[in-house]
Structure 1
Amino acid sequence: MADDPDVPDFEVPVGLFQDLEDLKAEVTRLSAQVKTLTDGADADAGEAFADDAADAGEEAEDEPQFPPFILLLDPPQYDDELRALIEWVEGVLVPGYLAEPSADARWCHLWFEHPVVIARLHALWLAWQELTDPATCGYTGPSVWHRDHLDPCMRELRPSNGPMAGCTKGEHQIDHRLPGIVPSAWSRAED
């Protein structure tokens, strides 16, 4: 290598190498995105784009490009997405990140019966899928996921006044956060 005139004669710091790899991954991702966008723009009145869609089959037209948010799904798709989310939570999140529940760090073993918990964990899972793929996020993705997604999510879900506040070991309360009946100022009590 030292005999090659095109190769500089100095040591590359590890951090710089990782930054370069991250930049390469980002350039690759952006190049693919630009190609996708420009291919659609170059189509003459949408003919080429329509031909590509016809070649891909009608199923591709009905499928979203990115996974939709779980609360927007209808029952068959919702059930499949929830099943996959449960697999990830029970297989990755619980054993890897959740310590023993306590009064200050709640966790309900029936978390999937709390809609707000499902919503937050699904968003966390979507971010995890994106940020743990080195092809799209480089080497810093997992760090970003921990800092920007996992930590804030757990701060919202696990406090003693969070969505699982009424759940303790062996007890489960699904409707502990539902508001009670509030008398309306517009209605009058019948005499």
Structure 2
Amino acid sequence: MADSSTPGDGTLPAAVEEDVADLKAELAAMRAEIKALREEVAAGAAGTDEDEEEEEEEAPEEADNEPADEEDAWQFPPFILLLEGEMYEAERRALAEWVEGVLVPAYLGEPSADARWCHRWLEHLDAIAFLHALWLAWQECTDPASCGYTGPSVWHRDHYLPAMNELRKSSGTFQGCTKGEHAIAHRLGSRVPSVWYTDEPA
């Protein structure tokens, strides 16, 4: 807004009027810089679009090899029950390494009637599902970048304890698997009838 007063008319001290004039000059300079920067950004964006178009024209085959949609690619490790074939077997082997190398020696004591365990847990599909979910959570919660210092505590409270309570309780997954002095009786739980499979011979 234009200042109607003139230096020395008694409205504002001359020093203040000079400061206001300096501020107006600085503001005008900043506006000019912002305008120049906007023009540079606009010119750079236009140049980038042209470069991308040229790259697409030069290498159309590379574009064909990429997934049509970013959602088609896994962004996080897939749950094991969603896998098939070699991918399933590879994930199962990796899970077994973690269970037998970390979980069993570090956490599981001698099995009992109230805390069951089956050394043939890989034959129990629900055990595979529970333990794979537990392993995925362990990978995330032991990464300081994603969970900080509280990650391991959260894993024990929210993942390990609920999963073990379900798997090892007397009426849980391993209820048919008991350990004797020198022998282990192993019995898989029966399946609920489903339209997706049948136990009757074809």
TM-score range, shorter chain: 0.5 to 0.7
Letter in 1 for 2:153: S
Letter in 1 for 2:134: L
1:103 matches 2:116 = no
SS for the counterpart of 1:140 is helix
Q: Deviations over 1:118-151 (max 9, x none)?
A: 0010000000000000011100000000000000
Q: Which residue of structure 1 aligns with residue 139 of structure 2? A: 129
Please give the residue correspondences for 1:72-151 in structure 2 after superposition, counting only pairs within 5 Å.
Answer: 72-151=82-161
Q: Which residue of structure 2 aligns with residue 165 of structure 1? A: 175
1:178 to 179, 182, 191: 191
Two-structure CA RMSD over aligned residues (Å): 2.6
Unaligned stretches of 5+ in structure 1? 1-43, 181-191
Letter in 1 for 2:169: P
TM-score (norm 2): 0.58
SS for the counterpart of 1:118 is helix
Higher RCO, 1 or 2 (CA under 8 Å, sep at least 6)?
1
Superposed displacement of residue 172, structure 1? 1.0
Q: Which residue of structure 1 aligns with residue 4 of structure 2? A: none
Q: What is the count of residue pairs matched by the alignment?
A: 130
* Distance in 2 (alpha carbons) for counterparts of 1:146 and 1:58: 39
Q: State the identity %.
A: 65
* Distance in 2 (alpha carbons) for counterparts of 1:179 and 1:150: 27
Q: Deviations over 1:61-105 (max 9, x none)?
A: 664111111001011100000000000000000001111101111
Please give the residue correspondences for 1:23-34 in structure 2 after superposition, counting only pairs within 5 Å.
Answer: none
Letter in 2 for 1:58: E
Unaligned stretches of 5+ in structure 2? 1-48, 57-61, 194-202
